Structure 1
């Protein structure tokens, strides 16, 4: 029987392996694989096939509406009239909102991702007899395994 478990990259992995060896699991039956971190940057613009659920035009739409109302109101006193100034206000509001959202996605969220420090997880595969499977599972969970799966 094989047990697959995932861990965060901490010293608890070493403690779990040492405990498994004390319970009679040989080193040859324990396999540890660290996962690689993502090398490429996250994409800001979505494609047809992939979307991250973040909208870049939400603030632009709100500011477009607000600036259009202000532009149309002021446009009654200006030479081009309220329709042109409402459209100009809408365009300016949309561009300002889009720029704000783009700035937050590229600059601020990138810093947040770096500060949060996403670390790769580690997969531990243990090959053991069915009788020891429950003991191995308990040891892995006691040493803060994120998840454990059994395969016969």
Structure 2
């Protein structure tokens, strides 16, 4: 039987391996594989098949609505009337809000666009007998494994 677990690169991984060896698991039965992390920049604009959950038009819609109301209100006194000035205000507000959000994503949040939270860096594969599975699983969880899976 094989157990797969994922860890961050910490001293807990080393302690888990040494604890497994003390409990009778041979060195030949423990296999650690480091993962390559993403090196390329994450894309800002979403496609039809991929979305990162970040919206670029949310601020633009809010500011566009506010500017359209202001434009329509002021438009009663201007030559083109409230409808044209409301549409002009909506367009200007949307473009301004979109530019603000794009600036925030490109400049302010550039470092935060990487992977958020904890991510796996090492996969630990352990060959063992079925009688040892529960012991090994408890050891892995107690040493802060991010995930554990069993395969017969």
| Fold in common (TM above 0.5) | yes
- Deviating more after overlay: 66-75 vs 119-128: 119-128
- What's the CA shift string for 1:51-81, capped at 9, x where partnerless? 1222211211111111011112112222332
Matches within 5 A, 1:1-150: 1-113=1-113, 120-150=120-150
| Distance in 1 separating the partners of 2:85 and 2:126 | 70
- What's the CA shift string for 1:23-72, capped at 9, x where partnerless? 12111111111211111111111111111222211211111111011112
Return 5+ residue gaps in structure 1 as ranges.
Answer: none
- What's the CA shift string for 1:86-124, capped at 9, x where partnerless? 12111110001111221222223223346x786542110
Q: Do the aligned partners of 2:56 and 2:102 also contact (CA within 8 Å) in 1?
A: yes
- Deviating more after overlay: 118-127 vs 41-50: 118-127
| Distance in 2 separating the partners of 1:4 and 1:129 | 14
- Deviating more after overlay: 27-36 vs 74-83: 74-83
Q: Do the aligned partners of 2:30 and 2:125 also contact (CA within 8 Å) in 1?
A: yes
Query: Aligned pairs, how many?
Result: 151
Task: Tell me the TM-score normalized by structure 1.
Answer: 0.89
| Distance in 2 separating the partners of 1:118 and 1:12 | 15
Q: Do the aligned partners of 1:57 and 1:97 also contact (CA within 8 Å) in 2?
A: yes
| Distance in 2 separating the partners of 1:118 and 1:109 | 18
Return 5+ residue gaps in structure 2 as ranges.
Answer: none
